[in-house]
Structure 1
Amino acid sequence: MKKPQNQSKWKGVDPVLFFEDEVVMKSLVSFFGIKKSFPLRGHLVTRSIQAIDIRRIYYISKSVQEILQLNVEVGEQLKIASLGLRMFETHRSKDGCSCAYRLSYEGLPLLLPYITKRVLHASPVDFHRLLQYRTIKFAHFVDTGLGEEAADLTPGCCVVVLREGYENEDPLSIDSSMVAMVCWRGKGTMMNVMLSPPDRKDLLERMEYQFGLHQLIHACELIHFRYY
């Protein structure tokens, strides 16, 4: 990993290093089906010197990349406390996932249009209930097709995208403006939401505003099953 910022230059500030692990990048591209048109090389950085300590990988734009290089050339006059979008994070799951990293909700809007694998589409009711309960069995999705698609996934991180309507939409029409969340397909038959409490609360409020709280609650009350 190249080191644009010398850690000793600014005491107490973590270094900024370009992430260049080809094995990990190939794993990410293969696992999530990231299109070649999305630039990863030269745009990923980390704040950890030792590879074993890397927990988060951040994405930076070309302009920020150029600033980092310029900062090195001028003797690292710029103190870099934080930068980039959190794009990938390590996970501690023992579900047998073949990829060591999961997606981060922070960087999801930027990456979403370029992901071709592990993307599920949920109706407003299923999306809301998943947010509300955080963990749902595949068999308990209202849309049986969604449950079947989830069951077909191998264990690991996935993305659940909100369908604006109740009809199926073209899966190829995904863009960064669509509402989506990061989830985890467990080893058993469970789907888990991987959002922080504030992000989860924000998505719930957006749904309730967009579709109407009464409408969502009424639709959910028509479904008679229990969650375990």
Structure 2
Amino acid sequence: MSAPALRLQGDLWIGDNRLARDLKITAPAGRWTCLLGPSGVGKSTLGRLVAGLPGRARLDGDATAVRGRVAMLAQQDQLLPWASALQNVTLGARLRGAPADHRRARDLLDRVGLAGLHHRRPATLSGGQRQRVALARTMIEDSPVVVLDEPFSALDAGTRMAMQDLAARLLAGQTVLLITHDPLEAARLGHAAFLMTAQGSRPVNLPEGPTPRDVSDLAVTAAQAAIFDALSQRCAA
């Protein structure tokens, strides 16, 4: 199944509460698009809408229909406490009644730095380790559209960068919507980016070239500074 482009336009609501008006967000097919903006503006709500999750949120406007074709990694790892790391990674297949690919699940756990911990339950793992299990569970799905809601926020700086690099490789060719508060993360991973506020959305300039970009690249440093400045101005407004 080929990865589609996403089009998200209109006013974003939860019940009778409008979070953002006149959004105009286009995520190119097979690329990473980053959503940035202040807390409470509706970035996670928009991600849940793209994933087709139930709730009171709605987008009054135009949106690409992708339900049933989306994998999502939420801010909370949402691991089953009674299941092992391996069982959590293969949960999607079991829920669909399909054979679980244990070999690939073990390989993904190894690649996210959890070799030897396949049979550990979530309660025995650190917060960062749990987040890496959830990341492996998302990547094994091979969905054409992937929503990542602050997927690396629980990781230390070194592990965060390694997991960013791994996710960029393993999700290449899929349409990824990355919700982040980290300007450097957007500058390294994004092919497109948008700043969301209650008044709307606007595109953010990112460096050219393949991702993940080198953190020492001057273009990445400049993009990080520009995004941080834009966020600071929006929060001060």
Of the two structures, which has the highest relative contact order with CA contacts closer than 8 Å and spacing of 6 or more?
2
TM-score by length of 1: 0.28
* Larger Rg, first or second structure (1 or 2): 1
